Amino acid sequence: MSGSIASSGCLEYCMWASSAVVRRQLFLIRSLGGSCCRTHSHRMRGIQGANAVASETDAESIIRRVTPALDPIRYKGQAGKIAVIGGCREYTGAPYFAAISALKLGADLSHVFCTKDAATVIKSYSPELIVHPVLEESYSVRDDERDSVSAKVLAEVGKWMERFDCIVVGPGLGRDPFLMGCVSDIMRHARQLSIPIVIDGDGLFLVTNNLDLVCGNPLAVLTPNINEYKRLVEKALDCEVNDEDSTNQLQLLARRIDGVTILRKGKSDFISDGETVKSVSTFGSPRRCGGQGDILSGSVAVFISWARRHLLSTKEATGKSLSNPMVLGCIAGSALLRRAAALAFQNKKRATLTTDIIEYLGKSLEDICPAE
């Protein structure tokens, strides 16, 4: 299916060029054996602008809108139950950053499903996290056990799945083939249960090589950085990244993967569900320490859960994208991370670490949406 996505995506990307002049030039390019997508940025530059225009949103207003009030009548779990699927021998920090960020932002419960080798390490970082050592890697599974172990992993995760408001797949996951297969099954199960899923890190590597895992899923969010986005565009659209027409290309990419929401990380973050493109340009920090993407994925997961609950309770109708909880969650998560990063940098400058940014998540939210 991903092959057909790429081929049709290439054609659709060229359809925006609707003037007679553009059509004639595209015809000449094809006649000469060129690829309309790959040569577009070089041969068609300046002929006609894209249809999609990114609009800067009032992120603080969205944060106030979806953040639940602290109410004494609420019970544990109503402010969000988040799960992170990731963590292996080599990578224990990323799943911790994502899961603890969810708690620092205001989620009630945060789980991590990781390999046995990673579990003790992640537990040692914080007693606040619920850690499940259930994932397996190839080295620990015999060939004749693969099917039974895979089924057992899915069953162990599956018995918790219905409890979660959103899951995050990818932080610290690694690229072990057997583990990737197990996580694919987990993603399919989450989709069957209509549970939102935020995909980052090695989860994007998995999805890029198997677009069917998310294609047609409106409850999926992809959060690629510059290199991950490049691979997605090449896979889904069979094109190179076109920075001169970036908003239109992002919107098309979301459409080609059929309904997913994409948060393209960069100097400004751009978000599209295929309908419109929103941007978050608030300046964060010039310090680019590793782990900020993990904070983002955990934060987006929380805001998605809050936005879904808010929209269901109020039945708001304010336009497609701003009534899409996935878009709202991306906008809110992006803006809050940037604010926290800016505050951390003011204090620590070059010494700013991911843990410093996490400590400012609560203050950043409190400044925008006071608890009382």
Q: What is the pLDDT of residue 57?
A: 87
320-332, pLDDT tens digit by residue? 557 899 999 999 9
In this structure, are residues 2 and 235 in contact, taking their beta carbons and an 8 Å threshold?
yes
Residue 293 has pLDDT above 80, yes or no: yes
**Sequence ranges of the domains in the chain:** 2-48, 55-368
- What is the CB-side half-sphere exposure of residue 132 using CA atoms within 13 A? 20
Strongest mean pLDDT among 308-312, 344-348, 368-372: 344-348
Burial class from Cβ neighbours inside 10 Å (0-12, 13-18, 19+) for residue 240 reads middle
| Confidence band of 228 (pLDDT split at 50, 70, 90) | very high
The CATH number of the structural domain formed by 55-368 is 3.40.1190.20
What is the value of pTM for the model shown?
Answer: 0.86
Residue 197 tokens read as 């899923």
Interatomic CA distance for residues 14 and 22, integer angstroms: 10
Q: Which tens digit of pLDDT belongs to each residue from 102-147?
A: 999 999 999 999 999 999 999 999 999 999 999 999 999 999 999 9
Reduced to 3 states, what is the DSSP secondary structure of residue 358? helix
Token readout for 263 is 């948060």
The DSSP output letter for 277 is E
Q: Which two tokens stand for residue 307?
A: 């936005």
Confidence of residue 318 (pLDDT cuts 50, 70, 90): very low
Coil, strand, or helix at residue 16? Answer: coil
How far is residue 295's CA from residue 320's CA, in Å, rounded to a whole number? 27
Q: What gap in Å lies between CA 199 and CA 349, rounded to an integer? A: 30
DSSP, residue by residue, 85-138: E---SS--HHHHHHHHHHHHHT-SEEEEEEEHHHHHHHHHH-TTSEEEEEE--G
Q: Can you give the pLDDT at residue 3?
A: 53
